[in-house]
Structure 1
Amino acid sequence: MMECAGSNKNVPSRKQNRVDILKQFQSRFFATSRLVSFPWTVLENDLELSKSSDVILEILKQTCLHALCRKFPPSPRYRKCFISELIRRVESAGCEPLDELYDALAEVVAAQDVTEGYRTYLLPRGDGVSLLENVALISEGTTGLVTWEAALYLAEWALDHPQTFAGRKVLELGSGAGLTGVVVCHSCGPSSYIFSDCHQSVLQRLRDNLSINGLLNNKTKTTRTEVSVQELDWTDMTEERLKEFSVEVVIAADVVYDPDVVVVLVQFLSKILKCSRGRVPAEVLICSTVRNPHTYAGFKHSLSDAGIGHRVMSGAVNHVFEYNRESEIELVQLYACQ
């Protein structure tokens, strides 16, 4: 009897462990995370204990065979690598082969290789933000066709601080693929949101991604937020046009990456803060992945020279999305010095 009791005691923990494995595999698969980031060791332990491929089939159903994958599939190359790794783990554990695995592999091998694929970033409530992104980090002369870490961090910060955006007019600089703005529009309730960029390919991709997520198409619109997409060249933007926007919050992610761009950016930020004088000043938040400390330090020096102060928004954010957190990411709030 004692042996049975001890055996039953382990059942809930093992079941919970299986649930956790499935969640991790699903969220990382749809975000097309690096394969090394998946919990392979935990999976191997499960296979060794059960000597069954059941967990692999469950993973397959939650990833490649899931309805979301049919609608918004990651690139064929990514799915091929993922399925090949699952097959390798099954064979390594000596489990019985799964026909479904080889059928799924045959399907992606037959698919035409493409330069783009979908990434879906799952939200805590279970739904997700699906974006069409390029496979290459840099393509068509721009970095704006993929989602970068600072955009994901800023979206997580927004989920933790919805009051910053609720009922307010928001302008986003360098919106790229649109991740941060889609999250803010769906979860934080701004009255209006202006997505902006200067590259034509990025603007078209941005419109497509906003339509996918129910923000532009009136027939499928899922939020009361007034949404628009603007071509915005920082060098040509006048104070008069900025005043017409009458925004209350300005945000940007991963726009500090080149010394030449920093000069133009700081000049533009000066105009934004200048237009805020005489009324409630706009809240300006810039989120950056610090890839080059020298360039980032130059950005802060340029802010100071332009009479712009900054405060670092410290404090951890809740981890919602799957991305590489090894790089330093900093969020700063800007203000005009008196």
Structure 2
Amino acid sequence: MSYTHPETGKEGEAMSHETRKEVIHTFQVNFFAMSRLNAFPWDSLDGEIMTTTTSDIITEILQKTCLHPICLKNPPSLKYRRRFLTELIKRHEMLAAEPLDALYEALGEVMCAQEEDMCYKTYLLPTGDAVSLAENVALISQGTTGLVTWEAALYLTEWALENTHIFKNKTVLELGSGVGLTGIVVCLSSSLTKYIFSDCHQTVLQRLKDNITNYLTNSDSSRASVCVEELDWENVSDEQLQRIQANTIIAADVVYDPDVIACLVRLLSRLLNCKVQEEHPDVYIASTVRNPQTYDCFKKELEMAGLRHVVMKDSVAQVFPYNRATTIEMIQIYV
């Protein structure tokens, strides 16, 4: 069966069962990650709506998003759910069908509720697991950017899922862990010995502890030992670094402020020269290159500190919904 889109005038055909299932899943993944609304497959939904006389696909999308148990327990922001439901209602009204009470009831609930500073983003893994993290609604709040998940952290997490062998039987230190996505996923997917989350902002550290408590417990003997360290790059002691004894160091989006580049490079130099079992640690840094001058400054500081780096160009499969057009570069640093 074919249809003509009411706004674009383009013709199309009804989707297959598998395509329909994929479209609904894409709606779910984007909804829980709070993707921009223009990232959703609205045209595909319109096509299905125009070739049927029922609201079935709208109902399924609603059940997989706003009415899903994950949303009921760990909801995206109110503003986001309002916008999503408003758009879904707009698409449903293209149907010459009876109003869908569940849609309006869901919108009514979020219209009456009061917005909070905190919301949840849920990241669906290839294993079927879901990681829900408490994040702040604002990108910058309480003087820090560490209360949200940034794109380079999503990329680093995808890379980690493809390279679990790198973490096998290792002690891993993550610099600037933020709300904890990468570390939680690494611990869930890799057979490592210990994972050390770290940050220096007190509010971030508390949020980080709250998030990892939901997924990682040392009482589970099948998982690695997990801890959270307050790590001040400027003032970290030799004793603290010796106690950490990390074989592998990872970080995402830590190269964004020219004022912290020098102390970051000094810390990396000290970490790389702390041999563990007679070997230098492996260091991997993923960065969103927002300011090329700042990023070039970081690389020059590495060179002046006697540290070499190589850009890792292997392709990484996309797992999470975010803009891959953004320039994200991952490097390995070594002495």
**SS state at 1:87 partner:** helix
Question: 2:285 aligned with 1:286, yes or no?
Answer: yes
How far, CA to CA, are the matches of 1:335 and 1:17 in structure 2? 46
Q: What residue ranges of structure 2 are gaps of 5+ in the alignment?
A: 1-12
Question: What are the superposed Cα offsets for residues 110-160 of structure 1, whole Å, 9 maximum, x if unpaired?
Answer: 111111111000001211111000011000000000000000100000000
Aligned with 1:208 (options 202, 207, 210): 210
How far, CA to CA, are the matches of 1:222 and 1:296 in structure 2? 41
**SS state at 2:145 partner:** coil
Aligned with 2:74 (options 57, 66, 72): 72
Aligned residue pairs, count:
323
Question: What are the superposed Cα offsets for residues 174-217 of structure 1, whole Å, 9 maximum, x if unpaired?
Answer: 0000000000000012110000000000000000000122x147
Distance 1:242 1:217, change over 3 A: closer
Corresponding residue of 1:29: 31
AA in 2 matched with 1:244: R
Task: Using the TM superposition, name which of 221-230 and 28-37 deviates more.
Answer: 221-230
**SS state at 2:51 partner:** helix
Percent of aligned positions that are identical: 53
Q: Retained in 2: the 8 A contact 1:44–1:89?
A: yes
Give the TM-score, by structure 1 length. 0.92
Distance 1:222 1:287, change over 3 A: farther
Q: What residue ranges of structure 1 are gaps of 5+ in the alignment?
A: 1-9
Corresponding residue of 2:3: none
Distance 1:99 1:75, change over 3 A: same
* Cα deviation, residue 313, structure 1: 1.0
**SS state at 2:266 partner:** helix
Q: Retained in 2: the 8 A contact 1:28–1:38?
A: yes
What CA RMSD, in Å, does the superposition of the two structures yield over aligned residues? 1.6
Moved segments of 4+, more than 3 Å: 92-96
How far, CA to CA, are the matches of 1:259 and 1:278 in structure 2? 34
**SS state at 1:92 partner:** coil
Corresponding residue of 1:4: none
Distance 1:26 1:314, change over 3 A: same
AA in 2 matched with 1:128: A
How far, CA to CA, are the matches of 2:69 and 2:76 in structure 1? 12
AA in 1 matched with 2:26: Q
Q: Retained in 1: the 8 A contact 2:218–2:226?
A: no
* Cα deviation, residue 239, structure 1: 2.5
**SS state at 2:169 partner:** coil
* Structure that is richer in helix per residue: 1
How far, CA to CA, are the matches of 1:115 and 1:224 in structure 2? 32
